Amino acid sequence: MHRERSPIRPGGIREGLAVLVAAVGLAMAPVARADCDGCVVAAIQELKGEMVRQFAELKSHLSAEIKTLRQSGAQVEKDSLRAQQDIGFMLPTGGCESATAAAAVGPARDRAEAYLRAFNHLRRPEKTGTAASQAMVEAYLADYCAPEDVGVRGCSRASVRPNAPFLAETLLSGSGVGSAPDSNRPNSYLPEVLSFNPDRVLDARRFIDNLVDPYPLDDLPKDLQGTPQGMAFWMRKKVYEGRLSVARHALNHALALRVPSAALRGWLERVWRESKADEHLAALQAQLPEQISYAELLKTEVDRRYASPSWYAGIAGSPEAAVLRELAYMAALQLNLTYLRFRQGERLELLLAEQVATGADAHQRGPLLAELAAANRLVNPGSTGATGHSAPAAGTPSSPDSPTP
């Protein structure tokens, strides 16, 4: 039988091509994908190698920087330790300056000025016992009558500074009493005064004069002063007054500490400002007189700490640096007090030495002179044996306070 061919349709050709392309594509897909995966893997490997290299460079750079930092830190630590050692041997600013330098306005110079104002080199103005006795009576009637003296012995009214020239508190605490003094009421008397006004300075000086040399030795008449015996008496009187000056020096030192000085208050206020005590400055200033003495300055420095509750509260709440600074200020004050105790010890030694010398003269000089006279009589039987002692010249007044020759 004869088969007839089917006619070719245009759409059939396109469909066949599509099927053929699809078949070829399916056959070639695994090969293309394999090639693409190889490219990606190669790229990743290359990137990995680059990253490893860069990380190695970064590690090397960081190691070098860290080494540099460690070296710098070690050097800084060494420099810090060396600086601390150097600082340990450094003096504070002005540590080598003298307290009495021309630019200094400190307590040492004012204390020296107070010494001069205390008239340590002077004696009482009355030169004889009779004149001193008369002067004491006149001063007492004018300024020192006690209440029990009113109406007798010439006292017309009680003084506000009774018996001042004869009381130790006149020198140590200041003369004067309150408006209604009562021995049974402690607060009725004036509190302790450490900055003396002119009246209290005068009262203290009179107390010192009355304690040390109440009745000065009378001198010889003028016609006898130039004789050998008169000259010998003059020198013995000087020796006697020199011994009295030991006691006068110690007493005048106590007075000098209580004589006000104009510069001391300004110096103390400057110290307060430098020590960061501004929050208490107004209250502290209100408690001080315009001119304070060195004794008042020391008492104020103690009271503003020990006697001030606000100081304790401030110390409890202050940081460590502030507490250390306050300790440094207190150590400086303690150093000053140590120096004052040193000078006080010198005065005590001087007083003890004078007492020993006076006792030796009183108890041993007489027997020694007697032995010397006996030895001279053995050598020269016609001699009285008296040496080292001159009899008083004619007209020499006797006095219970005459020095032992």
Percent of the chain predicted with pLDDT > 90: 17
The pLDDT value recorded for residue 300 is 83
Amino acid letter, 311: W
Note the pLDDT of residue 116: 53
Identify the pLDDT of residue 210: 94
Q: CA angle 312-313-315, nearest 5°?
A: 65
* Cα(175)–Cα(169) distance, integer angstroms: 7
> How confident is the model at residue 29, as a pLDDT?
52
Question: Quick check: 318 pLDDT over 50?
Answer: yes
Question: Which two structure tokens, joined as six digits, stand for 282?
Answer: 């107004």
Q: With the CA atoms of 52, 53, 56 and 60 taken in that order, what torsion angle do they form, in degrees rounded to the nearest 10?
A: -170
Question: pLDDT-derived band of residue 101, with 50, 70 and 90 as boundaries?
Answer: very low
Q: What is the DSSP string of 194-220?
A: -S--HHHHHHHHHHHHHHH-SSPPPPP
Confidence at residue 34, expressed as pLDDT on a 0 to 100 scale: 56
Q: Average pLDDT for residues 2-8, to the nearest whole number? A: 48
Average pLDDT over residues 192-217: 91
* C-alpha to C-alpha distance for 167 and 211, rounded to whole angstroms: 10
CA dist., res. 52 & res. 54, Å (int): 6
Helix (H, G, I), strand (E, B) or coil at 129: helix
- Asked if pLDDT for residue 281 goes beyond 60, the answer is yes
β-strand partners of 372: none
Average of per-residue pLDDT across 56-84? 78
pLDDT confidence bin for 107, thresholds 50/70/90: low
**218 contacts: CB under 8 Å, gap ≥ 6:** 128, 129, 130, 397, 399
User: What integer pLDDT is reported at residue 180 of this predicted model?
Assistant: 73
The whole-number average pLDDT for the span 90-107 is 42
Question: Which is more confidently placed, 320 or 393?
Answer: 320
Q: What is the mean pLDDT of residues 355-367?
A: 83
pLDDT in tens, 19-28: 555 555 555 5
Q: Which two tokens stand for residue 94?
A: 């002005």
- 157, pLDDT greater than 70: yes
pTM of the model: 0.65
Number of H helices and E strands in the chain, helices first, is 12, 0
CA gap 390, 371 in Å, rounded: 17
Interhelix angle 228-256/198-212, nearest 10 degrees: 140
Return the higher-pLDDT residue of 330 and 391.
330
Confidence of residue 14 (pLDDT cuts 50, 70, 90): low
Q: Is the pLDDT of residue 103 over 60?
A: no
Polymer length in residues for the chain: 405
Residues 87, 46: Cα–Cα separation, whole Å:
60
Q: At residue 125, what is the residue type?
A: P
Residue 56: pLDDT band with limits 50, 70, 90: confident
Calculate the average pLDDT of the chain.
Answer: 76
**Is pLDDT at 5 greater than 60 in this prediction?**
no
How confident is the model over 344-371, as a mean pLDDT?
86
Cα 163–chain centre separation: 36
Residue 96 has pLDDT above 90, yes or no: no
CA distance 259 to 114: 6
Higher model confidence: residue 245 or residue 31?
245
* Residue 203 reports pLDDT greater than 90: yes
- pLDDT the model gives residue 143: 94
For residue 150, the model assigns a pLDDT of 93
Would the pLDDT of 120 be above 60?
yes
Three-class SS of residue 357?
helix
Alpha carbons within 13 A on the beta-carbon side of 247: 13
Q: What one-character DSSP code corresponds to residue 284? A: H
Residue 278 DSSP label: G
Structure tokens at 240: 């006697």
Residue 369: its pLDDT value, please? 81
Which residue do the tokens 């860069």 mark? 54
Question: Is the pLDDT assigned to residue 41 strictly greater than 80?
Answer: no
What's the rounded Cα separation, in Å, for the pair 405 and 402? 9
Does 386 or 248 have the greater pLDDT score? 248
| C-alpha distance from residue 113 to each of 11, 100, 123, 251, 294 (Å) | 136, 11, 19, 16, 11
CB 124 within 8 A of CB 216: yes
Domains of the chain, residue spans: 107-377
